[in-house]
Amino acid sequence: MLARLTRWWRGPSGGEAFADGEWAALAARLPLLEGWSAEDLDRLRVLAGDFLRRKVVQGAGGLEVDDAMRRLVAVQACVPVLHLGLDWYSGWVSVIVYPDEFVARQEWVDEDGVAHEVERELSGEAWPEGPAILSWTDVELGADGEDWGNVVVHEMAHKLDLLNGEANGMPPLHAGMSRSAWTAAFSSAFEDFSERVERGEEVLIDDYAADDPGEFFAVMSEAFFLHPRDVREAYPEVYGQLEAFYRQDPGLRLGP
Ligand SMILES: [Zn+2]
C-alpha cells in the first residue's frame, strides 16, 4: 500500500515533462551538458521530469515563474544527482526564485559566544530542510555559460552536504569511500586555495570558495561539472573524491 501510494504521489516516471523539440533545444543551450552521451541525456530528462513532479518551483519578489523556467531549473538541478537519484534531494520540497540577487539576513554565533547578524546580497541559498533559493538572473547566466559557475549546481551541492547535518563540506559518503581520504584531499586543497587567495594569486575557481569548507565543496562541485579538467589538474585528489561521490567523470565527456 505504502509503495503504491508513494508511486501515485510521485506520478508516473518518464520524460513527458519535456517535449522532444524542447528537450533538444535545452540540451543544446546548456554548456553544462556539452559532450554528454545520449544515454546520460535520456537519464537526465527522466530525472528532471521527476524533479518537477516532486518539487515546487515558485517565484518570489514579483517574479512569475513559467514552465520553461521551471524546466531550466530542474535540468540543472538534476546534473549532480544523475547517478545518485532524487532521493538525495529528500527532506525539502520547494525552490524559490527571485528576479535577481536577494538580500538575506544571516545570523551566527562566534567562538566567544557573541551573536552576529549581517545582511548579504546572494545569488542563491540553501536552507537546511527548507527551500533552495535562487536568483533568476544568475540561473540564466549559469545556464548560458556566461558566468564562470552555476548557481543551481552550487545550491544543490549544499543540499547534498546538508543531508548529514551542517554544510561542512562533507556530504554522506558512499560505502567504500573513506572519510579520512575525503578530509585529507579537501583540507589540503582548501588550505592551498586559501593561501593563493590571500596572496592575491589568480585562482581557478571563485575566491568565495575560501570562505569555509562548505563553500569550498559547493564551488568545487560547480568546477567539477563545468571545468573538470582544471579541477583534475589542480587538485587531482579532490577530483577523485568528487568522481566517487557523484559517480560521474565529467572530464571524460570532454574527450582526451
Ligand atoms: Zn554557497
Ligand 1 centre to CA of 6 (Å) is 32
- The grid coordinates listed for 176 are 567504500
Which domains, from first to last, does the chain contain? 164-256 (3.40.390.10)
Write down the pLDDT at residue 34: 92
Grid-cell match 560547480, residue found: 222
Query: What per-residue confidence (pLDDT) applies to 106?
Result: 78
- pLDDT tens-digit profile of 66-75? 999 999 999 9
As residues whose CB is below 5 A from the ion ligand 1, the structure lists: 215, 218
Q: What separation in Å is there between the alpha carbon of 170 and the centre of ligand 1? A: 14
How far is ligand 1, taken at its centre, from the CA of residue 63, in Å? 22
Q: What is the pLDDT of residues 99-150, one digit of tens each?
A: 999 988 878 788 888 888 888 888 999 999 899 999 999 999 999 998 889 9
Question: From ligand 1's centre to the CA of 66, what distance in Å?
Answer: 26
pLDDT band at 13 (very low <50, low <70, confident <90, very high): very low
The pLDDT value given to residue 14: 45
State the Cα–Cα distance between residues 198 and 186, nearest whole angstrom. 18
Cβ count within 10 A of residue 151: 28
CB 161 within 8 A of CB 170: yes
CA of 236 to the centre of ligand 1 (A): 22
Q: 83 CA distance to ligand 1 centroid (A)?
A: 22
Element (H, E) at 125: strand 124-126
What is the helix, strand, coil percentage profile of the chain, to 5?
55, 10, 35
Q: How many angstroms is it from 211 CA to the middle of ligand 1?
A: 9
CA 88/CA 174 separation, integer angstroms: 12
135, three cell numbers = 536568483
Distance 209 CA to ligand 1 centre (A): 8
Alpha helices in the chain, H assignment, sequence order: 2-10, 20-29, 38-54, 67-78, 136-143, 151-162, 179-198, 213-226, 228-234, 236-246, 250-253
Tell me the Ramachandran region of residue 61: left when phi exceeds 0, alpha when psi lies from -120 to 50, beta otherwise. Answer: left
Nearest to 33 by CA among 87, 82, 96, 67: 82
How far does residue 244's CA lie from ligand 1's centre (Å)? 22
Cα(21) to ligand 1 centroid in Å equals 34
Mean pLDDT of 75-91: 97
Distance between CA atoms of residues 153 and 158, nearest Å: 9
Q: What is the pLDDT of residues 147-182, one digit of tens each?
A: 889 999 999 999 999 999 999 999 999 999 999 999
What is the distance in A from the centroid of ligand 1 to the CA of 193?
16
Split at pLDDT 50, 70, 90, the class of 15 is very low
| Ligand 1 center–CA 15 separation, angstroms | 30
Using the mean position of ligand 1's atoms as its centre, give its distance from the Cα of residue 204 in Å: 17
Q: How far does residue 121's CA lie from ligand 1's centre (Å)?
A: 12
How far is the C-alpha of 83 from the C-alpha of 144, rounded, in Å? Answer: 23
Residue 54 CA to ligand 1 centre (angstroms): 23
